[in-house]
Amino acid sequence: MEDSIVKFDKPQQVDLDRCVHCGLCLNACPTYRELGVEMDSPRGRIYQMNQVAAGAPVTPSYIEHIELCLACRACETACPSGVQYGKLVEAARSEIEAVTTRPRGERFLRKFVFEHLLQSPGLLKTAGALLYLYQASGMQKVMRSSGLMQLVGKLGRLESLSPPAEPPFFFSKIGKTFPAEGTQRYRVAFLAGCIANVSFARLNEATVRVLQKNGCEVVVPGEQTCCGALHVHSGLRDEARKLARRNIDAVVNSNFDAVITNAAGCGSTLKEYDELLEHDPAYAAKAKKFAHLMKDVNEFLASIELNTQMGEVPVTVTYQDSCHLAHGQRVRTQPRKLLRAVPGLEFREMPMSDLCCGSAGIYNVIQNEMSMTVLKTKMDFVNGTRAEVIATANPGCMLQLQAGAKMHGKGQRVAHVVEILDEAYRNFK
Ligand code: SF4
Ligand code: SF4
């Protein structure tokens, strides 16, 4: 189907009208908390969207306030009127994309990243191999210890956020099926992400092992592709639709009990494929079925009878809610339940655990300054718990928190919940 549905990709008046301007969301908003500026609060941004909907032009100032939003959706949780802020900000970005023209260099870079790199295993493997060379050859160490990175300012800060390359990459597992350990109870599909195949290959392997330990036959569908979350967050909804159709075709007719992701940011977009494709007659019903099958790995494991044959993991752990899990998918208790099931682990709740860490997809690259400010606030809360490990549920948050632990932390290790479970299963004697 031709993607001639741009008229839907702007904030709809019926959604904007849900806001009653009460301001109860303000204190939950990281950018408002840092800046104290109404136009950088959820209410202020909705006010500006209303003005544009009424015919005001899309100005640089409007773009700035919309782009400074982390799309963390904390305001959705706080809002008593049921404003779907995530939907609004994604639509606002899509409208900005449609009515403005970016500078040539930026256009080229975005086209390369969104339409080629993220969708191409070949390009991702090449980028991963180059990154590995930079990191393993000692060049990264030299650059960092020489102080050169500090000299180049923002570029240096961005370098500190670069993901690791973890060969062998997970691409070699795509298209394979992994049998359940013991009696098979479920048959699930695992969506492995795009960059995660290079940078979180060990996490993906741990996820498969933990699912196998819990009686799942794990299929890693060969036709899967990038989920499109970064595209949606950047206003590129038509490109995201193309990816959504491919992922739906990869799993929807194969009789799975669930489709699993270990990335909260991907999960909320994958669960919203039905919204993304609601006006596509060929895919609307299939997208609904897909969204219904989609589960975050924490959510899935907490919903089944968990294999408790675990050994001790004697560490103190605090949990950082990934925004797109807590606010986007309302999955909060499940990761905590899983962590508390690990023998020897002491769980320490952190105040404001659902305040964004500043990662927010590629926000930490594009809005690096605000991202680092938000991260500093987060690390103050983390340090207050005196926990040795920061557990979370999203690869992007893991990278950001690792940078936070280096810059402001007390030597904490950062781990995905599933990696801690995997350790517990491996420690079983
Ligand atoms: S999504 Fe997050 S940053 Fe954006 S307005 Fe809502 S609370 Fe603020
Ligand atoms: S978004 Fe919700 S909480 Fe915020 S001002 Fe509007 S109605 Fe109130």
Give me the pLDDT at residue 366, please.
84
* Exposure class string for 4-18: b at 16+ Cβ within 10 A, else e: eeeeebbbeeebbee
Nearest CA to ligand 2 atom 2: 79
Q: Position of tokens 């695992």?
A: 190
Residue ranges in 386-415 assigned as alpha helix (H): 395-408
Mean pLDDT over 194-207 rounds to 96
Beta-carbon contacts of residue 26 (< 8 Å; ≥ 6 apart): 32, 41, 42, 43
Beta-carbon contacts of residue 405 (< 8 Å; ≥ 6 apart): 379, 382, 390, 411, 412, 413, 414
CB distance 345 to 315 below 8 Å:
yes
Residue 322 and residue 331: Cα distance in Å, rounded? 9
pLDDT > 60? residue 17:
yes
DSSP 272-334: THHHHTTT-TTTHHHHHHHHHHEEEHHHHHHHS-----------EEEE---HHHHTTS---HH
Q: What is the DSSP letter of 111?
A: I
User: What are the structure tokens assigned to 47, written together?
Assistant: 């006010």
In which band, very low, low, confident or very high, does the pLDDT at 156 lie, cut at 50, 70 and 90? low
Higher pLDDT, 138 or 79: 79
pLDDT > 50? residue 5:
no
In which band, very low, low, confident or very high, does the pLDDT at 289 lie, cut at 50, 70 and 90? very high
Query: What lines the ligand 1 site, CB under 6 Å?
Result: 28-31, 42, 45, 69-75, 85
In which band, very low, low, confident or very high, does the pLDDT at 317 lie, cut at 50, 70 and 90? very high
**Bond preceding residue 168 cis, omega within 30 of 0:** yes
Residue 221 and residue 210: Cα distance in Å, rounded? 18
Q: What is the DSSP letter of 404?
A: H
Nearest CA to ligand 2 atom 3: 79
Atom of ligand 1 nearest to the CA of 32: 8
Give me the pLDDT at residue 4, please.
44
Beta-carbon contacts of residue 143 (< 8 Å; ≥ 6 apart): 149, 159
Q: What is the DSSP letter of 246?
A: H
> Ligand 1 mean position to 113 CA, how many Å?
25
- For the chain, percent of residues with pLDDT exceeding 90: 85
